[in-house]
Amino acid sequence: MAKKLKKFGIVGLAPQGIKVGTKAPAFKAKDQNGYLIDLKAMLKNGPVVFIYYRAYWCPYCNKALKNYADSIKHVTGKGVWFIAVTPETTLGVSKTIDITNLRFSVISDGDEKI
């Protein structure tokens, strides 16, 4: 793994993912349509599927997002909310939506605070 990381100019330890069961930080942010998304308020109304993805150029992210977009009809009537968060720009978010056909909130988090 270290050799692969060096190949891409990354030196040192690879970042670790979050552990199962880790709570998402409470946040308020605007989505692609300008709506204020308040995670704490949403959680009071039901479960939230919180998706973090890289950017429109990631084929793995696009495949996963398309699967969520295709599956959302099975759970929306049950009070489940979907939110996607990405470090990409708002232009990148628009590209992601075009590629994946998302119909739920996507938040651009360029500062990676969320």
Structure tokens at 38: 């308040």
Q: How confident is the model at residue 100 (pLDDT cuts 50, 70, 90)?
A: very high
Single-letter residue type at 15: P
Whether pLDDT at 16 is above 70: no
99: left (phi over 0), alpha (psi -120 to 50) or beta: alpha
Rounded to two decimals, the pTM is 0.77
- Spatial neighbors of 75 by CB under 8 A, at least 6 apart, are 49
Whether pLDDT at 31 is above 70: yes
Instruction: Work out the average pLDDT over 99-112.
Output: 90
More confident of the two residues 4 and 107: 107
Exposure string (b/e) for 80-96, b if CB count within 10 Å is 16 or more?
ebbbbbbebeeebbebb
Least confident of 11-20, 26-35, 59-68, 77-86: 11-20
Angle at 57 between CA 20 and CA 87, to 5 degrees: 55
- Predicted pLDDT at 22: 78
Instruction: Work out the average pLDDT over 60-73.
Output: 90
Q: What 3-state DSSP class applies to 30?
A: strand
Is the distance from CB of 48 to CB of 14 less than 8 angstroms? no
